[in-house]
Amino acid sequence: MNDSILIGLREALLSRTTLDALPDSVSRRTAALNTWGTNAIEGNTLTWRDVERLLLQGRSVANRPVADVLETIQHEAAFRGLLDRRAAPIRIVTAMELHEAVFKGITPDVPPRERVPLDRVRAPRVQRGRAPRDGIGQRVEGRAGSGGA
């Protein structure tokens, strides 16, 4: 990653004591940087310049998939809304609500139990050469035999 992107942001963040004390410009830039990095990991095609143009300048980006643009806008809104959720505990429902906020209108509505199970996202703990046999793993194995993922 180009370190120059982070220099001004780092200085602004280190000069403050609480997230509430951040100027809006720093908060917006932080949200945009988080959105770009997170979405890039997931395969979003927008570049940092695209994200700056879209989120910080309020301008459109050309020749990019509509789904990537929509995901970027919705991710940034969900990220900035995290401060409103800070008093509540983080649970699986919270993660699902955030996922829905980011992907609303982009991916088809899929019941939560049909989405990628958590054990497919992280490596399962293996004991004696066997993966754990919990409900999620059994559902994945059941779907795999019927042509599902």
Work out how many domains the chain is built from and give that number. 1
Average pLDDT of the segment spanning 79-92: 88
96 in a domain, yes or no?
Answer: yes
**C-alpha 125 chain-centroid distance:** 24
Q: Are 12 and 23 in contact (CB under 8 A)?
A: yes
What is the domain-level CATH number for residue 18? 1.10.3290.10
Domain that holds residue 14: 4-107
Task: Report residue 109's pLDDT band, with 50, 70 and 90 as the boundaries.
Answer: low
What pLDDT shows up at residue 149?
43
What pLDDT shows up at residue 106?
87
57 in a domain, yes or no?
Answer: yes
What pLDDT shows up at residue 135?
46
The yes-or-no verdict on residue 91 having pLDDT over 70 is: yes
Q: What does the radius of gyration of the chain's CA atoms come to, in whole angstroms?
A: 19
Give phi and psi for 78, each to the nearest 5. Answer: -65, -40
What digits encode the pLDDT tens for the residues 119-129?
444 444 444 54
147 in a domain, yes or no?
Answer: no
Q: Are 72 and 51 in contact (CB under 8 A)?
A: yes
* pTM of the complete model beyond 0.75: no
